[in-house]
């Protein structure tokens, strides 16, 4: 099998045996607080262990950094932008999952010196698998994907401002309300990026940029024809020093969104929730 097929099979196996059996079946003691505003479940931890072991067995020679491992040992993030690294988000949208609602997903990315080489995003419930490889395009369930606008009179924008201070959040939304149609944020990057590529949303703004949350999606979006940068307009890089992320289904829409939004977020000093 190709690397794409092996990683895809690994994700589907772990979803079937670890994640889905616990959806709407978690006991109270299987959910814990890991940091302010963040929870973790037994499904996150067990899925990451299974994915870690599966990736290690592929023999690619990459270091492996998972979300839960980095929570226990933050030093794992110190050099995540250097060399060849597997990034694992075993259960993206954990709060949704723990509440028994959609969406949630599983993500894996292979990055080299911070630049994504390949990415996988699986929706365990529907089975939808989004994949991209650098220079080879993006696919959804094996079908090539090319971004397309929603066709809304005002671009549809999902603004991830929930980690901003209330006054900053109000400032961003005040700038956006006249020119953009603000839509609900799915609280799941594994859903946000497919929405941009598949014609559901036009624009997405993220404050937190933990590498496992964005590497796979950023590559999928750009390979499909979209555009993404940090808030300072520098290219997206996993583990880099850039702040925030602005993503859009096309460069034209990105430019429009940047004119509206970036002036109100560029001077925001992010707190310890951002990495």
Residue 243 burial by Cβ neighbours in a 10 Å radius (0-12, 13-18, 19+): middle
Task: Write down the domain spans for the chain.
Answer: 3-145, 156-265
Consult the annotation and say whether 201 binds a ligand.
no
Give domain 3-145's CATH number out of 3.30.540.10, 3.40.50.300, 3.40.50.720, 3.40.50.150.
3.30.540.10
Consult the annotation and say whether 87 binds a ligand.
no
Consult the annotation and say whether 67 binds a ligand.
yes
Consult the annotation and say whether 89 binds a ligand.
yes
The helix/strand/coil state of 101 is coil
How do beta strands 63-66 and 129-133 pair?
unpaired
Architecture of domain 156-265: 3-Layer(aba) Sandwich (3.40)
pLDDT digits (tens, 9 = 90+) for 107-153: 999 999 999 999 999 999 999 999 999 999 999 999 999 999 899 99
pLDDT digits (tens, 9 = 90+) for 128-138: 999 999 999 99
Helix (H) or strand (E) holding 214: helix 211-224
Calpha distance 155→157 (Å, rounded) = 6
DSSP assigned state of 235 = B
How do beta strands 245-248 and 143-145 pair?
unpaired
Name, in order, each residue with C-beta under 8 angstroms of 201's C-beta and a sequence gap of 6 or more.
150, 156, 157, 158, 183, 192, 195, 249
Q: Could you tell me if 241 and 218 are in contact, meaning their C-beta atoms sit under 8 angstroms apart?
A: no
pLDDT digits (tens, 9 = 90+) for 35-68: 777 899 999 999 999 999 999 999 999 999 999 9
Consult the annotation and say whether 141 binds a ligand.
no
């Amino acid at each position: 099998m190709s690397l794409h097929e092996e990683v895809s099979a690994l994700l589907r196996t772990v979803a079937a045996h670890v994640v889905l059996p616990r959806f709407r079946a978690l006991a109270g003691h299987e959910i814990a607080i890991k940091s302010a505003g963040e929870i973790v479940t037994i499904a996150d931890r067990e899925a990451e262990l299974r994915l870690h072991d599966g990736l290690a067995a592929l023999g690619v020679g990459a270091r492996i950094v998972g979300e839960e491992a980095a929570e226990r040992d933050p030093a794992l993030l110190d050099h995540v932008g250097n060399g060849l690294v597997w990034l694992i988000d075993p259960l993206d949208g954990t709060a949704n999952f723990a509440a028994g609602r959609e969406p949630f997903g599983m993500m894996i990315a292979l990055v080299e010196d911070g630049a994504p080489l390949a990415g996988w995003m699986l929706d365990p419930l529907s089975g939808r698998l989004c994949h991209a490889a650098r220079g080879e395009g993006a696919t959804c369930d094996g079908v090539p994907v090319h971004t397309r606008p929603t066709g809304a009179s005002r671009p549809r924008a999902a603004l991830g401002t929930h980690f901003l201070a209330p006054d900053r959040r109000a400032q961003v939304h005040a700038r956006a309300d006249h020119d953009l149609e603000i839509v609900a944020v799915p609280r799941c990057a594994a859903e946000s990026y497919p929405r941009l590529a598949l014609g559901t949303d036009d624009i997405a703004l993220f404050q937190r940029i933990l590498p496992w949350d964005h590497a796979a999606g950023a590559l999928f979006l750009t390979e499909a024809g979209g555009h993404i940068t940090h808030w300072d307009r520098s290219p997206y890089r996993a583990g880099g020093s850039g702040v925030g992320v602005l993503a859009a289904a096309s460069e034209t829409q990105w430019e429009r969104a940047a004119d509206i939004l970036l002036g109100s977020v560029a001077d925001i000093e992010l707190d310890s929730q951002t990495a």
